[in-house]
Structure 1
Amino acid sequence: MPLQEDSLDNPTIEELAQSGRRLAILCDSCGRFRYMNLARFAADQRISTLAETLKCASCRSEDVRALAISRDPDTGFWPAERS
């Protein structure tokens, strides 16, 4: 599952949408992985700053990461959400 976080890959919400990728939240405490609606955020906001304002909806931890996710290059599918 391609959940790599590249330190140089810090697009704005607008750049993320234009690139065809999706925004996801990954909780380092419980492992929950969910996609998020881009419309909730300002177009000029960088994804690196999103985690500062987010909490895991499952365990309420603030130990979360916002990730730019691409389709799997081999299958064309999006990585599956998990709880």
Structure 2
Amino acid sequence: MQVLRSGSGYPNADVYRALAYATALGLPDAHLVYARGNEPVSSYLIRGSGVRVHAHALDLSLPPADLLHQINGLARLVLPGNALNR
């Protein structure tokens, strides 16, 4: 888990927007998906909210079959009951 800091890689506005949606919907987790850049996959526990925001990155330079495999793996991660989602 990381503390969200300015300049930490993923845009803070995206993380806080995901927090707002998760809070409004009563969800414990929110997921953001980005094209792969220089940042690792990150999870942020937002203090005082109990919401965890996960930022994932897809490598769009992969061949289509490999990209689809990566997307399927991400889909399995966000399924309810997965350890990532508590």
Under a length normalisation based on structure 1, what TM-score does the superposition of the two structures give?
A: 0.30
Q: Which has the higher helix share?
A: 2
Considering Cα pairs closer than 8 Å and 6+ residues apart, tell me whether 1 or 2 has the greater RCO.
1
Structure whose CA Rg is larger:
2
TM-score by length of 2: 0.29
